[in-house]
Structure formats: C-alpha cells, structure tokens
Amino acid sequence: MMNSFLQSLQDPHLVASFQRYCGLLLQVEERLAGGCSNSPGNASGSQGPVERANVFKTSECANGNRRYKTNGSHQYPYRQDKEDGCGMTGYAVKEKPGYMVKNYFFYYLFRFAAALGQEIFYITFLPFTYWNFDPFVTRRLVGMWAIVMYLGQTSKDIIKWPRPLSPPVVKLETRVDAEYGMPSTHAMAATAISFTFLIATMYRYKYSVAFGLLASTMLSALVSLSRLYTGMHTVLDVICGVLITAVLMALTYPFWNILDNFQLTSPLTPIIAIVMPFFMSYTYPALDHYSPTRGDTTIILGVASGCTVGFWMNYQYGRTYEPTGSLPFEIPSITPEVVSLAIARFLIGILVLVATRQVVKTLSLKVLYAWFDVAGHDMEARKRLEIEVPYKFATYSSIGFNATVIVPLLYQLLELL
C-alpha cells in the first residue's frame, strides 16, 4: 500500500495534471518525412522543415502508430508511416514538444518563484541581509543554506532518480535537466532560508510571529510548487526536500549558537573554512556523465567558505556591524532615507561582487589552463574536475569574502554605514 502510494507521487502525469490546472499545456509539433522516395529529403506531405538529426529509419510501418524514444528525462514521441502502395520504408521524425500558456498569472508567478532558488537570488538576498539588515541573521542563513544544499545535491547523485519525463510533463528549464531529481534542492533551500530567517529573528526583533510563520510557509510553498509547474520535479521530490530540511533544522538548531561562537572566535576557523569545503567539492560523487550539480555545489560551498572567513576576520577586528541596544530590537521604520541608503549600499555592493566574479574567474581560469596545458578557447575543459572545482571555488569564495569584508569597508569609506 505504501509502496503504491509513493509510486503515485512519482507519476509524471500527476505533475502534468498540476501544470494543466495552472494553464500550462503540452503541445507536440509533428514533423514527418516519408513517402515513395529513397531519399528522406523528398518526403511528400511533410509538415514544415525536417530536422536531419531527428530522423529515424524504420523497418516496419503502421499508420498512426505512436511510439516514444527516451533521451534522459525527455521522452520524444515519434511516428512510423508508409504511403499506401509505396512499398518503401518510411521515416519517422521526432515530434518537437512545445507548450501553450493559458494563464499568464501563474506562469510569471511560478517562474519568479523558481528564480528564488537559483544563483541570482543567493548572490543578492544573502548579501542584502548582511549589508542592510543584520549580520547575526545572515550567518545563520549562510550556514543552514550551505548544509542543506550540499546534502541535497549529493543525495541527487547518490540516489539517481530521474526527473519527470517530457511528455507528458512540460519542461520549462533545460540547464539542470541533466541533473537527477530526488530531492528538490529548490524546496530545500526555500524551506531552509525562510524558516531559518524566522527562527533567527523571532526573539531578536519585535514583530508578529504568526505573520512571520505565514510568510515563511507561503514562500516555501510557492518555491516548492514552482518546481512542479516548471516540470523539473515530481511531487515526491518536493515533499522529500521539505521534510529533509525540516529534520536537518531540528537536529542542528540546538547547536546554532555553539557553532556561531566557534566560527567567530576559534583560530582554526580560516583553515577549516577553506580546506573542508574545498575537499568536499573535490570529492563530490562522480557520475558517468557531466552534470552541473558538482559545479553548483562548489559555488555554494565557496560562498560559504569566503563568508565564514569574512565573519571571523570582522569579529577579530571588532567590526561586527550588528545592531546595538537591548533585545528584542525594534524593526526600523521604512522611510525614503532608509530605502535610498539600502539601495545605494546594494548597488555598490553588487557592482563589487560582479567585478570580483569577473576578475577572479578570468585569472583563475588562465592559471589553471596554463597549469594543465589547455587551450584557452576550450570551453569543455571547464567541465574537468581539476579545473571546474578550483576556479569556481576561488571565484565564489572571493565573492563571499568581499561581500562580508571589503564591501562594508567601502561603505565606511563612503560614509554609508
């Protein structure tokens, strides 16, 4: 009974049903070639241009017989045809899956929600909380985010459950389609960030905890549902992602203050913060094909590494940038002056981080290409373990360090603190 229930949660048709309910429909554009010619290029009655790479020769023909070829998590329909009386072997061309949007409110809502679990969100939201809100909260956000994302990413490549097939599912994202699906790291990150923020602030600031709980639940649910809407995860992937994060938070919560005190005061922090994440990135589970999970995990660990070193250095020099006064703090009023100051800090900080990314990435790749005697134009070389991990770790650890150390010092220089 339980096994049957779990299998039903993995059914791609359940995901497709949710997409249809939200107004996202699958369309299949048939492109057929066949007829009474020995050359597939002289097909009669073909609908539109034929993509040569997608033509499959068939040994038998049956009008209207629809079959499927599977390529990773994409299931491509194709059809075999033979003209009546032709006597020749026909050709079947892959039908090109597309989609139709009938409800643009859900389309833009869930595309935006899906972006909340991607690099662009991490590289903006986490620094923003450090620059404009409270470094105390940011330290907990970065720590929990790194833990759940590392465990989620490695679990994908150990469990190796595929993403839902298309069709019947509409796939709106292609970059991560080579990854495995279980668990949903979007659901894990959204749950970890929203509820860590709630727990870290509920006794530190004066606000309605009920409102905070509602906001955290809605954010987590919205991002989780976006993974179904975009067709990237099954229902079971999403549920497991949320539950795993809840367990991890419950297990680690009693140690948050202990770990925070250790990372700020221990002389071993810089060594541990650099060596351990780099080792974890370099020993990431190997696959028989290239997947962006290793690179994405290296990015996450690199950011956490640089931030941790920055947190430690700021504490050593007495620059904690935390609010002063007695707990719980009052949430500052949102005035035009506060908003303009926050925007100025954010824009300056982001410019520094973008410049850091460009400079360190370029320099690290040049050094690694020269070390391993690789041509500079060889983009495939970036996927090699000995190049991908060092250059991404160096780039994003530099971003984390500059976000926590260099940018606040620049604020002081510009009198923006």
pLDDT averaged per 10 residues, the chain (length 417): 82 90 76 41 36 35 41 45 42 58 92 84 87 94 94 91 86 78 91 95 92 95 93 93 95 94 95 96 85 89 96 92 87 89 94 95 92 81 89 95 95 88
Q: Which of 99, 75, 73 lies closest to 19, judged by CA? A: 99
**Has 377 been annotated as catalytic?**
no
Beta bridge partners of 80: 65
Question: Do the domain assignments include residue 358?
Answer: yes
Pick from 40, 60, 94: which residue ends a domain?
A: 94
Helix (H, G, I), strand (E, B) or coil at 231: coil
Tell me if 3 is assigned to some domain: no
pLDDT at position 64 = 41
Contacts of 180 (CB under 8 A, 6+ apart): 156, 157, 159, 160, 161, 162, 163, 291, 293
The last residue of a domain, from among 72, 94, 116: 94
18 assigned to some structural domain: no
What is the per-residue pLDDT for 240? 95
Instruction: Examine the residue annotation and report whether 186 is marked as an active-site residue of this protein.
Output: yes
Same structural domain, 279 and 401: yes
Residue 117 lies in a domain: yes
Write the Ramachandran bin of 163: left for phi over 0, alpha for psi from -120 to 50, otherwise beta.
beta
Instruction: Give the span between the Cα atoms of 117 and 152, in whole angstroms.
Output: 13
Tokens 């039903």, located at residue: 8
Residue-level pLDDT at 63: 38
Looking at the fold, whether 61 and 119 belong to one and the same domain comes out as no
228 with 89, same domain?
A: no
Residue 267 shares a structural domain with residue 319: yes
| Inside any domain, residue 21 | no
Residues 112, 74, single domain; the answer is no
Q: Residue 117's pLDDT is what?
A: 77
Given a contact cutoff of 8 angstroms between Cβ atoms, the answer to whether 222 and 113 are in contact is yes
How far apart (Å, rounded) are the C-alpha atoms in residues 224 and 53? 36
Instruction: State which amino acid sits at residue 180.
Output: Y
Residues 326 and 314: their CA atoms lie apart, in Å, by: 22
Together in a domain, 250 and 167: yes
Q: Distance between CA 54 and CA 34 in Å, rounded?
A: 13
Contact status, residue 22 vs residue 170, Cβ threshold 8 Å: no
**pTM of the entire structure?**
0.81
**CB-based contact 165:181 (threshold 8 Å):** no
Residue 370 lies in a domain: yes
For tokens 């809840």, the residue is: 246
Asked if residue 285 and residue 230 are part of one domain, the reply reads yes
pLDDT of residue 168: 86
Helix (H, G, I), strand (E, B) or coil at 408: helix
**Are both 152 and 219 inside the same structural domain?**
yes
Per the structure, the complete domain to which residue 255 belongs is given by 104-413
In a domain, 338, yes or no: yes
**Both 56 and 139 in a single domain?**
no
Shared domain for 252 and 279, answered yes or no, is: yes
Burial-class residue 41 by CB neighbours within 10 Å (0-12, 13-18, 19+): exposed
pLDDT at 85: 44
Same domain (yes/no): 333, 244: yes
In a domain, 9, yes or no: no
Domain match, 214 and 255 both:
yes
Q: 166 pairs with which residues across the strands?
A: 74
How confident is the model at residue 304, as a pLDDT?
95
d(CA 322, CA 412): 14
Q: How many domains does the chain have?
A: 2
